[in-house]
Amino acid sequence: MRTVVAYLGPEGTFTESALLAFQRQGCFGTSEVAKLPVESPHEALGKVRNGIAQYACVAIENSVDGPVTHTFDALADGGGVRIFAETEIDVYFSVMVRPGTTAGDVRTFTTHPVARQQVRNWTEHAFPAAEFIPSSSNAAAARSVAEGRADAAIAPQRAADIFELDSIAREVIDVPGARTRFVVVGGLHSPPPPTGTDRSAVVFTLPNIPGALVSALRVFSSRGIDLSRIESRPTRTVLGTYRFHVEVSGHIESPMVATAFQELGSISDELTYLGSWPAM
């Protein structure tokens, strides 16, 4: 039986590259994987929640642009999913055009908004008068160029190969060494066993009282638990209310981590466990 994995498509995205890396690592439990391209992290996780896909592969963090906020929002909306694995890939882009097009012909260029932030300096120098057209993914941008809806796309080189475009520049990136972290998200299964170098994550909301966030963070500091990241996102219900996403070093099977999450739950309005998995 094939395992269906949803990812930000179409073929040629960095997310697809991460999915293939996870497949090589055996993260899906089988070599029979059916890739299901979708248009957003929210849709990818929705496919897991409604049973169409067993897993989703989504970007969660970039070393240049920071958190992928659409993924954090998708993780918090609806519950029913957990993170099971992570990987990191190097990020650099090619600038691709239809055959016969030169840099001087470019009046419009397209890419994903996150990618644009990673190549903004380059594009402002190379295409100072060109109009930017946002795309749902880098590979979708390449497809737009192939279909004549934009003059140039900024995407992984694989997208140029897939859509038969010419690359007029390669390894384009404003900050050399940029990397993106991706995660595998599945249903409410047991987490992978502890490895000794693990991460665990929760998302929670707090009452609007003085010192609430300090008390929440003290749950971890008092136990010597390292916070590897903390992000806040609007609840999108009442102005000024936030969800907090926390990743810590350790596994839910560690009594110290488990009791910390239990205590955090006791002082939170709402808490959802998002999984434990081997850290890179």
* Average pLDDT of the residues of the chain: 96
pLDDT (average), residues 103-113 = 96
β-partners of residue 233 are 243
- pLDDT of amino acid 29: 87
Rg (Cα) of the chain, in Å, rounded?
Answer: 20
Task: Reply yes or no on whether the pLDDT at 1 is more than 80.
Answer: no
Q: Whole-angstrom Cα distance, residue 96 to residue 240?
A: 42
CA-nearest of 36, 6, 17, 22 to 138 is 17
The residues of the chain that CATH labels 3.40.190.10 are: 3-91+178-186, 93-172
Q: Where are the alpha helices (H) located in the chain, listed in sequence order?
A: 14-24, 41-49, 69-76, 113-118, 120-126, 138-146, 157-163, 212-221, 255-267
Task: Reply yes or no on whether the pLDDT at 236 is more than 90.
Answer: no
- How many other C-beta atoms lie within 10 A of the C-beta of residue 239? 7
Residues 6+ positions from 59 with CB-CB distance below 8 Å: 8, 14, 15, 18, 41, 68, 71, 114, 180, 181, 182
- What global pTM score does this model have? 0.92
Q: Residue 28 is encoded by which pair of tokens?
A: 């899906």
- pLDDT of amino acid 220: 98
Confidence at 165, pLDDT banded by 50, 70, 90:
very high
CA-nearest of 77, 1, 61, 70 to 38 is 70
Q: DSSP assignment of 36-63, as one string?
A: EEESSHHHHHHHHHTTS-SEEEEEEEET
CATH class of the domain whose range is 3-91+178-186: alpha beta
Q: DSSP assignment of 160-180, as one string?
A: HHHHT-EEEEEEE-SSTT-EE
Give the tens place of pLDDT for each residue, 69-81: 999 999 998 889 9
- pLDDT of amino acid 64: 86
Confidence at 43, pLDDT banded by 50, 70, 90:
very high
CATH topology for the 93-172 domain: D-Maltodextrin-Binding Protein; domain 2 (3.40.190)
Confidence at 14, pLDDT banded by 50, 70, 90:
very high
The residues of the chain that CATH labels 3.30.70.260 are: 198-278
CATH class of the domain whose range is 198-278: alpha beta
